[in-house]
Amino acid sequence: MKGLSVILEKLIAREWFKSFFVSLFVLITLVAVANLVSELLRDLVPVTVILQNFLLDVPRWSSTIIPLCTMLATLFSLNHFQQNNELVAILSLGIERSTFLVLLFCFSFIISSLGLFLTGVMAPYSNRLKLVVMEEDVGKFRSNKSYGIKASTMISGKVWYRSKGKITSFQVFDKNNLTITGPTIYYYNDKSELSSIVYAKKATGASMSREWLLEEVKVIKELDKKEIFPQEELIKEIKWDLHETPEDFKKIETDVLQLDLIKLYKYIKKIEMLGLNTNE
């Protein structure tokens, strides 16, 4: 009886996975054709760049397709067994319904684990790789419109980005109140030498304005002049031109898409420690 049970389990597994891979192939083909044709018609970048973008996008949309394929595989396999009276035959041979359902659950769990790996590891990695391989063309694709100023989110929970003449870091941007927590601005001269540093507890901006109100500010100047000792100045409040608007910071924040599950968890905990809403 045990040998018969193993044979039936293999039969169920073969039919389920056959339905899964057929569904996966059909949906991938539809998505691939739609994406490639759409970008080819726009004719903004060479064909090789379109193919690069498509391949790097595979983990992202595969994580959406896989759950649908799992459901279709279950429905199609059950329908196949029922139409051929194989389901009745399997149950009549002593295989319990619970065993049948446990098998389907195990198959779904295996595929769901694959989807979690694609979503939590491969998709963030491909997002980071895009900014390296397609640095100049990444913003020309519809699927990449969320990419903003090039930035990287460190394990410490800070976001860093570089713009002309300066490097800026901050802990978190609150898009509802248009505030930046813990901004630090490093200015450098034409020789790429650090010239000054501006620390602030918080910065508050206005819509479409590059001028921000910095609170509890410490400015260290003359760092690039060897003959002068660096000057330190403490300011309670000051208006400061960051060269970026709140809209720019909203785009920078989208780089959390490049974090894998562990780094994303640490980033969320860091935001919670600052007392900000993490439910959005």
Around Cβ 12, how many Cβ atoms within 10 Å? 22
The candidate with the shortest Cα–Cα distance to 275, out of 156, 176, 181, is 181
pLDDT, residue 207, reads: 77
The pTM for the full model equals 0.52
Tell me how far apart the terminal alpha carbons of the chain are, to the nearest angstrom.
54
Distance of CA 100 to the CA centre of its chain: 36
pLDDT, residue 147, reads: 46
pLDDT, residue 149, reads: 40
Give the Cα separation of 97 and 103 in Å (integer). 10
pLDDT, residue 251, reads: 60
Q: Splitting the chain (280 residues) into consecutive groups of 10 residues, what average pLDDT does each group show?
A: 69 88 90 80 75 81 86 87 77 72 86 85 77 60 48 56 82 82 88 88 86 91 83 88 78 60 69 56
Spatial CB neighbours of 36, under 8 Å, sequence gap ≥ 6: 50, 51, 54
pLDDT, residue 272, reads: 63
pLDDT, residue 246, reads: 83
Task: Mark 220-253 as b/e (b = at least 16 C-beta within 10 Å).
Answer: ebebbeeeeeeeeeeeeeeebebebbbebbebbb
